[in-house]
Structure 1
Amino acid sequence: MTKAQLLTRSLLSLALSAAFSAQAATSISFSQQAQSADTQVLLVSPDSLKQQQHPMLQDARVQQAINAEQFSAQYGKKLELLAPATGVSRLLLLGTGDTAQLTAAKTNTLGGDLTAYLQGKSSLDQASIDATVLDQHAPALAQGMELRAYTFDKYHTRKSKPKDLKLALVVPDQRVAATRFEPLAAVNAGVFLARDLTNEPADAVYPESFAAAALELKKLGVKVEVLDEAAMARLGMGAILAVGKGSNRPPRMVIAHWQNSKQAPLAIVGKGITFDTGGYNLKTDAASIFRMNSDMAGAAAVLGTVKALALQNAPVNVVAVMALAENKISDRAMLPGDVIKSASGLTIQVGNTDAEGRLVLADGLWYARDKYKPRAIVDIATLTGSKVGALGNYYAGIFSEHEALTQQLISAGRQVDEELWQLPLNSKFADEMKSDIADLNNNGKTTGASSAAWFLQQFTGDTPWAHLDIAGNALSSSDKGVHVTGATGYGVRLLTEWALKQP
């Protein structure tokens, strides 16, 4: 192993230790032998159940309970037995369904649900989990377990210490499982960064403090650059400057570059509105404006992706551009009807100050295209309410006229259970974005999600490009699967998977 690889492995260990000690009390280890624990968890498939492949399944009392409950080991089904054998106070049988049909995404969800179940047992502090039936999918189970163990409780003054669950996964080959888990743990660390940034209130995360968080990645070998107002003005970035000028906390453009390949880079661009009042087109729905600290989830996702790639020393060249601003009301704020000039040279009439995300992305997309000449660009943003109306939080919307790129991203999303659904994008939407006095209007009249995507397309040139609208996906309203209530870190797993699979 080279010195560089040893350094990366050491950095990974340190970063994950810091992340999980603060955010996830659950610790997971791999073993080839069952560990002594009062609680035993046995993952079983219909075949392993039928063939009684595990000694526990051969116990007469266990068989009696299985028959009585008609437990058939279907995916996600559980059967709990109390004191089924000497030295075991609790046995949980967890069905995997047909293991040939298991995917990494389904195994992640199984792991998330298992963590939630074990956390719900007040007297439980350790368990041995026999995952040998999963074979190569055991690391994915551990990934899902850790994702669900995430907590964000730093602002609670009355809180008990999180339960420190010690979980030992029994696997066919301990070394192989640990090696396969390393990149998954790196992805989890990226997801946790994105969740943390998105969960923070707006008085903690604003353009300058977000930039400070990005600068921390320099410790991992990431090249990080921060453009302030003067630098953006020299580059002609009138769109992002217009959005941010109403706030006394100025906008920033942050560039984080993980360059570990000689190929032309892939560019990922994130919308980073750290709080969105709507501007003078003020948001009037209390529930909506309450959540607007999460309007930077796209920027958080691309920063988390860079961290995930850096921690695993990924052999890729990825540049992330984060366009950061607060959309506030003041005597300096942009007004409906104003005309601004973007860095690309196109002029934009502000039809609606609450359509600000596409304005900051316009300059971010131009910068990524002009400065880095990427072979593909993907932007990610909590952009439109109409996307939520179309797809809810079941899918994120994808907009692109580049079929190969679209299919790459859809496939990556399916692999990690961050699924995409393609929505229309073509010149039919151009009329919606016309202005009488400027090149473009930033406000579509009817088709909000597609017209917004068409607007963004005007700043991407000939570069293969796709837009991901993650409105509705950035937050979870309940604990479910690998997510807890709050920020999901949506996009980190998808973009990491996509970047790693590019030829």
Structure 2
Amino acid sequence: MTQPVEITFTETAPEKLVDHKGRVALVLTAPDKLPGRLPRAARDAATRALASKAGRALKPGQVLELAFPAGMAADALVLVHLPAGSSQAEARRAGAALGAKLGTAHTLVMAGPSKLAGDLAFGLALRGYDFDAYKTKPVDPDAAPKSGATIPEAEAASDDAVLSDAQAADRADAPAEPIGDRARVTIMVKDPESLARQARDAAAVAEGVFFTRDLVNEPANVLTTTDFADRLLAMRELGLEVEVLDEDELAKLGMRALLAVGQGSESPSKVVVMRWNGGGDEAPLALVGKGVVFDTGGISIKPGAGMEEMTMDMGGAGVVAGTMRALALRRAKANVVGLVGLVENMPDGRAYRPGDILKSMKGDTIEVVNTDAEGRLVLADVLWYAQETYQPRAVIDLATLTGAVIIALGHDNAGVFSNDDALADQILAAARTEGEGAWRLPLGKSYDSLINCRLADMKNTGGRAAGSITAAQFLARFIKDGQPWAHIDIAGVTLPPSATDLAPKGATGWGVMTLDRLVRDRFEGQ
């Protein structure tokens, strides 16, 4: 998997600034105070830059860069505006501004006594992500920053850019060879040992975010249901208990709704269960993820334009997997079970059809009116299995479920639905703390009536009106009475059209930080 940039903490040593080869960044807690021992020419240039229109316009968390500062060995001197009293979000944005232009040079950051150095490091790590597993040539760092570089459209459209199944299998089995040297960052602070200890948990979360981003960014000819399951099985080495349920086992359990979705694909359907037992004997929190590794829409096939992005339809499963990885790496003192339903929705002679009536594991029947409303069928069976098997304290499912939530909330917020006000409030509070956008949307009987059906207990979509709400109402029918539950529709935030504060263009890993914070604040040690 893509590894976060190597970040180390060391004692503040101003004398090292002059001779450092690479990039030097200075955290400025006041606009008129330049820390460190800079040559006079470099100090004068920095002072002029800060007094310029661009310098005066700097907001907390923003940076100003001077190329090839006079009298210094550095390629660039970066002035980081982070005044005393800046917020966690501003510190992370400051780090992200550094992470966006890491290249392969060694970056030396003089953070001094800043209490926000840990958040700066976290933002730097998150924004320094670069998924380059399929690039055969290094990117010119002067032409485009390493972080966030993309395959040119002409190359992406060429036959040479498409891997055959055999090539994909070889690529999946062989470890990726890095292009060039990995970037390194050294942060000089007043108390490096204390900060390094605090940064360990943040490093675990960053690795979880990267794991999720990698999964979402992978092409579907590599990330098959089998490959996905194998990557989760490999997390046994972290202390997770991982079990894979194959199609025969799913059929015995009665998961006919989930199996119907995948029956048109050569890729076998699976459910993977990951357990982290760090909290004693209490019932676990259950996290459930939709894992449609590719979604054509099935017989109700999607338009061709943009269908290549349907590799991200396993985003909910990716978030659950990344969260479980983070919890295991930081040895969370909580019991959490993560369950993901892995399928591929393809049109085929064996594919399920509009008009089919399916029987779920719960026993309820479902008329399929649109095979592109498949994620809720997968989640219905996995949600019921999670409750029947683990009697969880709470259930949270995540899914790239509806385009309707993008119409409602755009790409800035995930949609949160819940039958429990306390759980919803806890999720929203965790999202606010971590700076991940989330907004609660309603449930109600009038919406529920839209999925009533003449031929079966329900139909799998209520049409265009309130599309994200009727999808949530469908899932609510598979939640037991009295079971605290929340559904998070992450369709808009999983693969937004442009870079975000903490992620280059591509997969964001939205949700790993929120769920880790929720576990930390509400479920550990209780």
TM-score (norm 1): 0.89
Q: Is 1:108 matched with 2:108? A: no
Write the distance in 2 (CA, Å) between the matches of 1:272 and 1:497: 23
Residue 284 of structure 1 corresponds to which residue in structure 2? 303
Residue 477 of structure 2 corresponds to which residue in structure 1? 458
Write the distance in 2 (CA, Å) between the matches of 1:427 and 1:238: 27
1:225 to 243, 259, 267: 243
2:99/2:127 contact within 8 Å kept: yes
Q: Is 1:383 matched with 2:372? A: no
Judged with a 3 Å threshold, the aligned counterparts in structure 2 of structure 1 residues 67 and 364 are, in CA distance, closer, same or farther, namely: same
> Which ranges of structure 2 fall in alignment gaps of 5 or more residues?
140-178
Structure 1 counterpart of 2:132, one-letter code:
D
Structure 1 counterpart of 2:112, one-letter code:
T
The CA deviation at 1:395 is 0.4
Residue 331 of structure 1 corresponds to which residue in structure 2? 349
Q: Is 1:173 matched with 2:157? A: no
1:130 to 93, 96, 110: 110
The CA deviation at 1:50 is 4.2
Judged with a 3 Å threshold, the aligned counterparts in structure 2 of structure 1 residues 151 and 92 are, in CA distance, closer, same or farther, namely: closer
Residue 334 of structure 2 corresponds to which residue in structure 1? 316
Residue 496 of structure 1 corresponds to which residue in structure 2? 516
Write the distance in 2 (CA, Å) between the matches of 1:290 and 1:133: 47
> What do the CA deviations read for 1:200-237 (whole angstroms, capped 9, x no partner)?
11111122221111101111111111111111111111
> What do the CA deviations read for 1:324-352 (whole angstroms, capped 9, x no partner)?
11111112111111111111111111111
Write the distance in 2 (CA, Å) between the matches of 1:469 and 1:180: 32
The CA deviation at 1:86 is 3.9
Q: Is 1:470 matched with 2:479? A: no
Residue 31 of structure 2 corresponds to which residue in structure 1? 49
Write the distance in 1 (CA, Å) between the matches of 2:435 and 2:268: 36
Write the distance in 2 (CA, Å) between the matches of 1:56 and 1:429: 65
Q: Map residues 251-266 of structure 1 onto 2, 5 A cutoff.
A: 251-262=269-280, 263-266=282-285
1:381/1:468 contact within 8 Å kept: yes
Write the distance in 1 (CA, Å) between the matches of 2:439 and 2:137: 42
Structure 1 counterpart of 2:50, one-letter code:
I
1:229/1:241 contact within 8 Å kept: yes
1:43/1:133 contact within 8 Å kept: no
2:61 to 69, 73, 76: 76
The CA deviation at 1:454 is 0.6
Q: Is 1:32 matched with 2:11? A: yes
1:271/1:324 contact within 8 Å kept: yes
Q: Map residues 480-495 of structure 1 onto 2, 5 A cutoff.
A: 480-495=500-515
Q: Which SS does the other structure have where 1:443 is aligned? A: coil
Write the distance in 2 (CA, Å) between the matches of 1:195 and 1:83: 34
Judged with a 3 Å threshold, the aligned counterparts in structure 2 of structure 1 residues 53 and 484 are, in CA distance, closer, same or farther, namely: closer
> What do the CA deviations read for 1:10-46 (whole angstroms, capped 9, x no partner)?
xxxxxxxxx5xx545x43211122344144211113x
Write the distance in 2 (CA, Å) between the matches of 1:78 and 1:265: 43
1:113/1:480 contact within 8 Å kept: no
The CA deviation at 1:91 is 2.6
The CA deviation at 1:146 is 1.6
**Paired residues, number:** 472
Q: Which SS does the other structure have where 1:377 is aligned? A: strand
Q: Map residues 124-273 of structure 1 onto 2, 5 A cutoff.
A: 125-135=105-115, 137-159=116-138, 161-162=179-180, 164-262=182-280, 263-273=282-292
Judged with a 3 Å threshold, the aligned counterparts in structure 2 of structure 1 residues 78 and 149 are, in CA distance, closer, same or farther, namely: closer
1:221/1:310 contact within 8 Å kept: yes
Judged with a 3 Å threshold, the aligned counterparts in structure 2 of structure 1 residues 475 and 467 are, in CA distance, closer, same or farther, namely: same
The CA deviation at 1:145 is 1.2
Judged with a 3 Å threshold, the aligned counterparts in structure 2 of structure 1 residues 79 and 329 are, in CA distance, closer, same or farther, namely: closer
Q: Which SS does the other structure have where 1:438 is aligned? A: coil
The CA deviation at 1:68 is 4.0
Write the distance in 2 (CA, Å) between the matches of 1:162 and 1:485: 21
The CA deviation at 1:53 is 6.1
Q: Which SS does the other structure have where 1:246 is aligned? A: coil
The CA deviation at 1:380 is 0.3
Judged with a 3 Å threshold, the aligned counterparts in structure 2 of structure 1 residues 138 and 435 are, in CA distance, closer, same or farther, namely: same
Residue 392 of structure 2 corresponds to which residue in structure 1? 374
1:92 to 78, 88, 99: 78
> What do the CA deviations read for 1:69-121 (whole angstroms, capped 9, x no partner)?
47355313333345656445443211124x42412x332222111122343xx
Write the distance in 1 (CA, Å) between the matches of 2:50 and 2:303: 55
1:362 to 374, 380, 397: 380
1:406/1:466 contact within 8 Å kept: yes
Write the distance in 2 (CA, Å) between the matches of 1:106 and 1:465: 32
More helix by proportion, 1 or 2?
Answer: 1
Q: Is 1:439 matched with 2:457? A: yes
> Which ranges of structure 1 fall in alignment gaps of 5 or more residues?
1-18
The CA deviation at 1:458 is 0.8
Structure 2 counterpart of 1:343, one-letter code:
M
Structure 1 counterpart of 2:80, one-letter code:
L
477-486 vs 334-343, greater mean Cα deviation: 477-486
Fraction of identical pairs, as percent: 40
2:291/2:340 contact within 8 Å kept: yes
Judged with a 3 Å threshold, the aligned counterparts in structure 2 of structure 1 residues 234 and 118 are, in CA distance, closer, same or farther, namely: closer
Write the distance in 2 (CA, Å) between the matches of 1:71 and 1:133: 22
Write the distance in 2 (CA, Å) between the matches of 1:199 and 1:84: 38
Judged with a 3 Å threshold, the aligned counterparts in structure 2 of structure 1 residues 230 and 61 are, in CA distance, closer, same or farther, namely: closer
Q: Which SS does the other structure have where 1:234 is aligned? A: helix
Write the distance in 1 (CA, Å) between the matches of 2:201 and 2:327: 8
Structure 2 counterpart of 1:272, one-letter code:
G
Judged with a 3 Å threshold, the aligned counterparts in structure 2 of structure 1 residues 125 and 432 are, in CA distance, closer, same or farther, namely: same
Q: Which SS does the other structure have where 2:387 is aligned? A: helix
Structure 2 counterpart of 1:432, one-letter code:
L
Judged with a 3 Å threshold, the aligned counterparts in structure 2 of structure 1 residues 251 and 93 are, in CA distance, closer, same or farther, namely: same
Q: Which SS does the other structure have where 1:107 is aligned? A: helix
Q: Is 1:340 matched with 2:320? A: no
Q: Is 1:415 matched with 2:400? A: no
TM-score (norm 2): 0.85
> What do the CA deviations read for 1:398-429 (whole angstroms, capped 9, x no partner)?
01131111111111111222121111111111
Write the distance in 1 (CA, Å) between the matches of 2:25 and 2:137: 33
Q: Which SS does the other structure have where 1:387 is aligned? A: helix
Judged with a 3 Å threshold, the aligned counterparts in structure 2 of structure 1 residues 241 and 113 are, in CA distance, closer, same or farther, namely: same
> What do the CA deviations read for 1:104-153 (whole angstroms, capped 9, x no partner)?
x332222111122343xxxx722321122531x21221122122222222
Q: Which SS does the other structure have where 2:200 is aligned? A: helix
